[in-house]
Amino acid sequence: GVVGRAGIAAYHGTKHGVIGLTRSVALEYAERGIRINAVCPGTIDTPMVSDMLDRGMLKMADLLRDLPMKRLGTGDEIAGAVLWLCSSGSAFVTGHALLVDGGFTAQ
Catalytic residues: 11
Asked if residues 58 and 46 have their Cβ atoms less than 8 Å apart, the reply is: no
Q: How far apart are CA 14 and CA 20, in angstroms?
A: 10
Q: Supply angle C-alpha 95, 8, 40, rounded to 5.
A: 25
Q: How far apart are CA 50 and CA 58, in angstroms?
A: 9
